Structure 1
Amino acid sequence: MTVSPALSMTGISKAFPGVRALDGVDFECVAGEVHAICGENGAGKSTLMKILGGSYRPDAGTIEVAGRAIHFTHPRQAAEMGIAIIHQELSLLPHRSVTENIFMGREIVRRGFLDKAAMHRKAALLLKRIGAEIDPRTLVSSLSIALQQLVEIAKALLLDARILVMDEPTAALDERDSRTLLALVSTLRREGVAIVYISHRMPEVTAIADRITILKDGRKVWTRRADSAPVTEIVRAMVGRDLKEFYPPAPVSPPGKVLLAVAGGNNAALDEIAFEVRAGEIIGVAGLEDSGKGALASALVGDAPFAGGTMMLGGKPTALRTPRQATAAGIGYLPGDRKREGLALRQSVRDNALLTLRSMAGLFTRPFKGALGNAKIDETLRTMDVRAADFGQEIGTLSGGNQQKAIIVRWLEQASQILVFVEPTRGIDIAAKAAIYETMRSFADSGRGIVVVSSDMPELIGIADRVIVMHQGRISGSVARGAGEEDIMNLALGLSGPALGRTVA
């Protein structure tokens, strides 16, 4: 017996000025199925989903929901048809509560007044359903990106959606929260929800998907059952070549002199932090969402500085109280939320790459000339393979991977000796990841050091020379290159480490 698709998209095409985003794409998803869509940034995934969600109208093609032809002209129409889309770029209002965000546009009204108590109760139930320990009265601005992602999911579940699109849902989640989310996806599948799952995390895709569709350059390459689509074939179909060496090789030479050392570092979120970074080293930082790994990055760059202990840079004591002081001392910072913290989205690619140099020189209002002019920064942007029609275009129009590479260029131009990267490959495609890993390795091999905070365990294992693991604001232990995920998770959960008399080496 043939199962009728909950969603059927046939011959979908969409063009923008100078770009053919989609060219005759077919896609379907049945009730109780997880159908993954994979492809590089710019492959057409987001455009296809924006058409499904009513944000764009297709130039050609048809869409059927539960066998009924539909023509959406507004996102609300899609929501009313039981389609919920959780976008990678969060759409929450930061200065409203969790409850207010979940019920935005769907408030419960009783006798002409908002029934806030009923909404708080319902929000609490939705959050409990997805395993999120969040007070629904909390302001969204006080939540981490990972917790904000969970609020977005609760918001979608309020619609009782029958078709749920999840765009990079675990990109900002740690291992524990990712497992909780994937368990939720399995539950929704059993309840008969048709789930369209977009992710660049290959192990996750093969673990959760029933079928996988590959898009490349706006066209469908193939659709296969997940059990007949090994990761090697998925990657080859996405990028058109094999990525035999996804992570760069380990350095041949041992690390050099100590560039950064912290002893007894503490503040409201951290306690007895002690570690060092040597020239040529990439130090990974792992931990669960509430472990203090983000607080450690903030302390190193002077955003939420250490209140006690000692910090040495180049063998000299230093006390960094502001990010400007950290920049002047030679520490660069790539934040976890690039759009909110790292980019001026309405400014050009070139201006974003020059942002720190201009800030440190006090030259926001006039352009650099000579050696620090456009030609030099454009050359560096090309070397980093930042892909844009023109480096004068707004950086907000670029893919996430290209935006991330432009921020890295900023710190290369600043000649930083230490780079602190937070979630450096969040939400970017597999080829862009490989390029960023290569740049990180080259940066370290040139005699500088990197501290990389990441929720992506394979990433830390693949790129870091050593991984320190955070638990409850302290370093619970460290693992050397080649250690497994289980070793890191045991430390992250506090199941091994100095407090229990054992350190994984």
Structure 2
Amino acid sequence: MTIIPALHMAGISKTFPGVRALDCVDFDCRTGEVHAICGENGAGKSTLMKILGGSYRPDAGEIRLNGRLVHLTHPRQAADAGISIIHQELSLLPYRTVAENIFMGRELARFGLLDRRQMNKRAAELLRRVGADIDPEGQVSTLSIAMQQLVEIAKALLLDAGILVMDEPTAALDERDAQNLLSLIRGLREEGVAIVYISHRMPEVMAVADRVTVLKDGQKIWTRARHAAPVPEIIRAMVGRDLKDFYPKRPSSGPGKVLLSVEGGANAALRDISFDVRAGEIVGVAGLEDSGKAHLAQALVGDEPLSAGVMRVNGKPVSIRSPRQATAAGIGYLPGDRKRDALALRQSVRDNALLTLRSMAGFFARPQRAALSPAAIDSELRDMDVRAADFGQEIGTLSGGNQQKAIIVRWLAQASDVLVFVEPTRGIDIAAKAAIYQTMRAFADAGRGIVVVSSDMPELIGIADRILVMHQGRIAGELPRGASEEEVMRLSLGIAQQEPREAFA
């Protein structure tokens, strides 16, 4: 008997000026199945899902839902057809409440007025379902990126959709929240929901997917059952080659002089913070979402200044009260939300790379690798392999990985001694991740100190020379290179280390 899939997309093609985004792509997802889509940025994943969501119209091909031909020309039309899409780029309104965002366009009314009480009650139920302890009456702008992502998921569950598309749903979540979400996905699958799962995190794909489809350059390479799609073959199909040395080799020699130190640091979110960062090393910072790891990064760069303790850069006490002062002191910053906090999306790639140099011009005298000339910056962008038709094009048109590389060029030109990277590979593809890891190691090898705050435990274990683990605003412990995920999680949960381990073992 032929099984009719919940979703069947056949021969989907889409061309933008000068770009063949999709070339006769077939894709289907069955009732009660998790079907993962893997591919580099630019492979066509997002375009395919935007066609499914009614944001784009295909040039060719057809879409069938439970065997019925549909023409989806508007996102509301797709939602009414039972399709819910959680996009990687959040679409919440920051100055409205959580409940208002969840019910946006589907508000509840009573006697012609908004029934806020019922909306708040239902929103609280949905938030509990995704494991989020969030006040439905709170303003979205007060939430972290991870919490906003959970609100997006709750918003999607409101529709009780038969087809749920999740685009990098765990990119901003820590290990605990990510595991809770994967459990929720398994539950939805058991309820008969057809789930399209897009992720660059291979362990998650292996943990939750029933089938895997790989896209490359707008074409489908293959679709296989998960057990017939080992990670090395997925990666090879995605990038067209084996990715050897995904994490760069660490230097055999130990670190150099102390570049950054904090002693007894504290503020409203942090207590008794003491650590140092040496030249030539990458220091990872791990912890659950509410551990204080994000606050630590913001304290180092002056977004949330320390109110107690001593901070030194190159042995000199500094008072960092703003990001500008952090830059002047030699601290660079790559924030976790690049679009909100790091990019001028309507400006060119070149102008974004020059942004810090131009804003700091005349503020202090500091060595710089690049002059303020477009030619010098273009050379840096090419060296970083930022892929754009022209560096004069708007940076908002580039993939996440290329946007991230352009921000890194900004700090290359600035010649900062210490670089604070927050979620450096969030939502970017495998090849771009490998390139950024290589760049970070090259920075360290050149004598800089790197602080990496990440929710991706394999990333921290693979790239860091040692890992600081945060818990309830404190550093719960320090682990050397080679630490296991179990050791990191124990400290993240406030469980003491069983026995000390020698650093740099």
For residue 225 of structure 2, what is the aligned residue in structure 1? 225
For residue 336 of structure 1, what is the aligned residue in structure 2? 336
Give the aligned residue type for 1:156: A
TM-superposed CA distance for 1:81, in Å, is: 0.4
For residue 50 of structure 1, what is the aligned residue in structure 2? 50
How far apart, CA to CA, are the structure 1 residues paired with 2:500 and 2:111? 61
How far apart, CA to CA, are the structure 1 residues paired with 2:48 and 2:319? 50
How far apart, CA to CA, are the structure 1 residues paired with 2:500 and 2:86? 40
Give the aligned residue type for 1:412: L
How far apart, CA to CA, are the structure 1 residues paired with 2:391 and 2:243? 28
Aligned pairs for 1:148-167 within 5 A? 148-167=148-167
Go from structure 1 to structure 2 and tell me whether the alpha carbon gap of 1:27 and 1:362 turns closer, same or farther (over 3 Å shift). Answer: farther
- What SS class does the counterpart of residue 312 from structure 1 fall into? strand
For residue 300 of structure 1, what is the aligned residue in structure 2? 300
Give the aligned residue type for 2:9: M
- What SS class does the counterpart of residue 326 from structure 2 fall into? helix
1:477–1:504 Cα contact (<8 Å) kept: no
**In the alignment, is residue 427 of structure 1 matched against residue 416 of structure 2?**
no
Aligned pairs for 1:300-319 within 5 A? 300-319=300-319
Aligned pairs for 1:49-68 within 5 A? 49-68=49-68
For residue 480 of structure 2, what is the aligned residue in structure 1? 480
CA distances 1:130-172 after superposition (whole Å, capped 9, x unpaired): 1110010010000000000000000000000000000000000
How far apart, CA to CA, are the structure 2 residues paired with 1:113 and 1:167? 35
2:248–2:437 Cα contact (<8 Å) kept: yes
Aligned pairs for 1:174-323 within 5 A? 174-323=174-323
TM-superposed CA distance for 1:252, in Å, is: 1.9
For residue 412 of structure 1, what is the aligned residue in structure 2? 412
1:477–1:503 Cα contact (<8 Å) kept: no
For residue 375 of structure 1, what is the aligned residue in structure 2? 375
TM-superposed CA distance for 1:503, in Å, is: 4.9
- What SS class does the counterpart of residue 489 from structure 2 fall into? helix
Aligned pairs for 1:26-45 within 5 A? 26-45=26-45
How far apart, CA to CA, are the structure 2 residues paired with 1:503 and 1:36? 40
How far apart, CA to CA, are the structure 2 residues paired with 1:148 and 1:502? 37
How far apart, CA to CA, are the structure 1 residues paired with 2:500 and 2:258? 22
For residue 116 of structure 2, what is the aligned residue in structure 1? 116
How far apart, CA to CA, are the structure 1 residues paired with 2:344 and 2:73? 31
Consecutive unaligned residues in structure 2, runs of 5 or more: none
2:358–2:372 Cα contact (<8 Å) kept: no
For residue 78 of structure 1, what is the aligned residue in structure 2? 78
Indicate the larger mover: 28-37 or 370-379.
370-379
Go from structure 1 to structure 2 and tell me whether the alpha carbon gap of 1:119 and 1:216 turns closer, same or farther (over 3 Å shift). Answer: same
How far apart, CA to CA, are the structure 2 residues paired with 1:318 and 1:90? 36
Give the aligned residue type for 1:304: E
Give the aligned residue type for 1:281: E
- What SS class does the counterpart of residue 248 from structure 2 fall into? coil
How far apart, CA to CA, are the structure 2 residues paired with 1:371 and 1:491? 45
TM-superposed CA distance for 1:372, in Å, is: 2.4
CA distances 1:264-310 after superposition (whole Å, capped 9, x unpaired): 00000000001000000000000000000000000000110110011
How far apart, CA to CA, are the structure 1 residues paired with 2:39 and 2:347? 28
Consecutive unaligned residues in structure 1, runs of 5 or more: none
- What SS class does the counterpart of residue 475 from structure 2 fall into? strand
**In the alignment, is residue 467 of structure 1 matched against residue 467 of structure 2?**
yes
How far apart, CA to CA, are the structure 1 residues paired with 2:96 and 2:290? 22
- What SS class does the counterpart of residue 134 from structure 2 fall into? coil
How far apart, CA to CA, are the structure 2 residues paired with 1:472 and 1:121? 29
- What SS class does the counterpart of residue 149 from structure 2 fall into? helix
Give the aligned residue type for 1:410: R
1:9–1:27 Cα contact (<8 Å) kept: yes
Aligned pairs for 1:120-159 within 5 A? 120-159=120-159
Give the aligned residue type for 2:122: K
TM-superposed CA distance for 1:371, in Å, is: 3.7
How far apart, CA to CA, are the structure 2 residues paired with 1:341 and 1:316? 28
Give the aligned residue type for 2:77: Q
How far apart, CA to CA, are the structure 2 residues paired with 1:379 and 1:252? 31
Give the aligned residue type for 1:136: P
TM-superposed CA distance for 1:420, in Å, is: 0.2
How far apart, CA to CA, are the structure 2 residues paired with 1:471 and 1:392? 44
Go from structure 1 to structure 2 and tell me whether the alpha carbon gap of 1:362 and 1:153 turns closer, same or farther (over 3 Å shift). Answer: farther
For residue 327 of structure 1, what is the aligned residue in structure 2? 327
Go from structure 1 to structure 2 and tell me whether the alpha carbon gap of 1:127 and 1:337 turns closer, same or farther (over 3 Å shift). Answer: same
How far apart, CA to CA, are the structure 2 residues paired with 1:371 and 1:127? 50
Go from structure 1 to structure 2 and tell me whether the alpha carbon gap of 1:326 and 1:371 turns closer, same or farther (over 3 Å shift). Answer: closer
How far apart, CA to CA, are the structure 1 residues paired with 2:134 and 2:193? 25
How far apart, CA to CA, are the structure 1 residues paired with 2:357 and 2:316? 24
2:214–2:223 Cα contact (<8 Å) kept: yes
- What SS class does the counterpart of residue 372 from structure 1 fall into? coil
- What SS class does the counterpart of residue 169 from structure 2 fall into? coil
TM-superposed CA distance for 1:3, in Å, is: 2.3
1:356–1:414 Cα contact (<8 Å) kept: yes
CA distances 1:232-262 after superposition (whole Å, capped 9, x unpaired): 0000000000012100001122100000111
For residue 169 of structure 2, what is the aligned residue in structure 1? 169
TM-superposed CA distance for 1:406, in Å, is: 0.2
CA distances 1:38-92 after superposition (whole Å, capped 9, x unpaired): 0000000000000000000000001001111011111100000000000000000
How far apart, CA to CA, are the structure 2 residues paired with 1:292 and 1:167? 26
- What SS class does the counterpart of residue 192 from structure 2 fall into? coil
TM-score by length of 2: 0.97
Give the aligned residue type for 1:338: R
How far apart, CA to CA, are the structure 2 residues paired with 1:392 and 1:265? 42
TM-score by length of 1: 0.97
TM-superposed CA distance for 1:504, in Å, is: 5.3
TM-superposed CA distance for 1:200, in Å, is: 0.1
How far apart, CA to CA, are the structure 1 residues paired with 2:149 and 2:142? 13
How far apart, CA to CA, are the structure 2 residues paired with 1:424 and 1:2? 45
How far apart, CA to CA, are the structure 2 residues paired with 1:133 and 1:247? 35
TM-superposed CA distance for 1:496, in Å, is: 1.1
TM-superposed CA distance for 1:407, in Å, is: 0.2
- What SS class does the counterpart of residue 192 from structure 1 fall into? coil
- What SS class does the counterpart of residue 126 from structure 2 fall into? helix
2:440–2:450 Cα contact (<8 Å) kept: yes
How far apart, CA to CA, are the structure 2 residues paired with 1:393 and 1:265? 42
How far apart, CA to CA, are the structure 1 residues paired with 2:486 and 2:318? 36
Identity of aligned residues (%): 75
Pairwise CA RMSD of aligned residues?
1.2
For residue 494 of structure 1, what is the aligned residue in structure 2? 494
- What SS class does the counterpart of residue 461 from structure 1 fall into? helix
- What SS class does the counterpart of residue 483 from structure 2 fall into? coil
For residue 17 of structure 2, what is the aligned residue in structure 1? 17
- What SS class does the counterpart of residue 69 from structure 2 fall into? strand
